[in-house]
Structure 1
């Protein structure tokens, strides 16, 4: 299974997808979902935050989804709670940190659909996923508070 976007793995996330731009999710392209998958889960996280910071979470994404469009949630997907108990995409925001932060879009193919409400926290989603992950893929990006694009 693969996940890609308009930026390459381990490169800077474009300004449009941060708090210095429109702060919308980037388009994400999904391929090679295993046949046994029944749903997908997407978690967008800041790897340099302690504790790990969840910027966006979707679950029960239909396995027929090949693209998550910019600024949209795929039809049929459920938007879970991110940190701060909010729904919706929260892009990188370098005004709140110094230096480089690493971000990861984690995509999981599950052998089940999750029976959870939209108000579900990440830990509950991950508990329900346990033992049901049939494939996973990651896309990493960086955000540098010292980048000229944030000046």
Structure 2
């Protein structure tokens, strides 16, 4: 199964990253985000900007840390929209509780930190597709890395994180959730 082609994943196709597994008690693969995972910051009714619970397994040998990103390639920006980025998750950690991506990163393990996404908030920002824009895909990706630290600054962008991870990515686990705001 080619996860990269299956979802039209907006990530490099030829970097040799091995697939592994990510699951969630919050949302299933191909499912719809629950109301709590929609954006309260952007005024979506019922939205609370609660990050999803995530668990992963089967990362490649040699994994020394993880990063997690949530990206909407369907946002009407010309460049998509980064909803969450977490760097430097220790290799011994294989799950994040629901709500880990709050303002303080209270559910993140020691050493891990959140990078400001496109809303310039260093926290999880929930789904917020414009009303009537149609369905949006949200790529929840766990990146297995061959370094303990990415070395990115806490005020970097997810694009800088992605660039920095490019030469250190051993594997990727991908879950795609969907959201739509009716007209």
1:5 and 1:34 mapped to 2: Cα distance? 20
1:30 and 1:81 mapped to 2: Cα distance? 23
Matched pairs, number:
146
Structure 1 residues 33 and 110: alpha-carbon distance in aligned structure 2, compared to 1, 3 A threshold: same
Alignment of 1:78-93 (within 5 A): 78-93=113-128
Q: Per residue, is there more helix in 1 or in 2? A: 1
Gaps of 5+ in 2: 1-19, 40-45
* Structure-2 residue corresponding to 1:61: 89
Secondary structure at the aligned position of 2:119 is classed as helix
Q: Per residue, is there more strand in 1 or in 2? A: 1
* Structure-1 residue corresponding to 2:161: 125
Q: What's the offset of the Cα at 1:8?
A: 1.5
TM-score, length of structure 1 as denominator length: 0.89
* Structure-2 residue corresponding to 1:30: 56
* Structure-1 residue corresponding to 2:68: 42
Gaps of 5+ in 1: none
C-alpha contact 1:33 1:63 (8 A) present in aligned 2: no
Would you say 1:104 and 2:113 are equivalent positions? no
Q: What CA RMSD, in Å, does the superposition of the two structures yield over aligned residues?
A: 1.6
2:162 and 2:55 mapped to 1: Cα distance? 22
Q: What's the offset of the Cα at 1:57?
A: 0.3
